[in-house]
Amino acid sequence: MADEILPPTPPEPPAVRPSEPPAVRPPDRTLMLILAYLGPLALVPILAEKDDPEVLWHAKNGIVLFGAWAVLCMIDVFLVATLQVFGCLYTLFMTFVGLVYLALMAVGIAKALRGERLIIPGLTDLAKRF
């Protein structure tokens, strides 16, 4: 029985290392990126997502964009109140300003969701200061 042939032992399986879970963005991050460009609602990501620099960047950019729109509205109202000759131009100008603001909000949200940044000359530099 000493000459008994034993089957070869199978090789050991390779060591299985626990894999790291893929980097998944939390669902509320998408919501925060959308809120970042919705005017005063950009304060929500600033207060809630202090640890995410990308969300903070977009929220600051959205606040500055909203502030620029508000300043243009105030200047326009002041000019119409003092110079009532431009009453007709008020409607045209405010429609144009509103559409540009709406377009910039939509582009900002789309870029934020793709991981890109909306760079607006002058306004983005102002947002970086905060």
Q: Write down the domain spans for the chain.
A: 27-128
Give the tens place of pLDDT for each residue, 1-39: 556 776 777 777 666 555 555 455 566 888 999 999 998
pLDDT of residue 14: 66
Opening angle at CA 94, ends 37 and 75, nearest 5 = 90
Radius of gyration of the chain measured on its C-alpha atoms = 28
pLDDT of residue 77: 77
Measure the CA–CA gap between 33 and 56, rounded to whole angstroms: 9
pLDDT of residue 3: 63
Helix axes 53-82, 27-35, angle to 10 degrees: 20
pLDDT of residue 35: 92
Backbone angles phi and psi of 22, in degrees to 5 = -65, 150
What contacts 128, CB < 8 A, 6 or more positions away? 60
Residues 36, 117 contacting (CB under 8 angstroms):
no
pLDDT of residue 130: 79
pTM listed for this prediction:
0.72
Both tokens assigned to 1? 């029985």
List of the chain residues with pLDDT < 50: 22
pLDDT of residue 86: 66
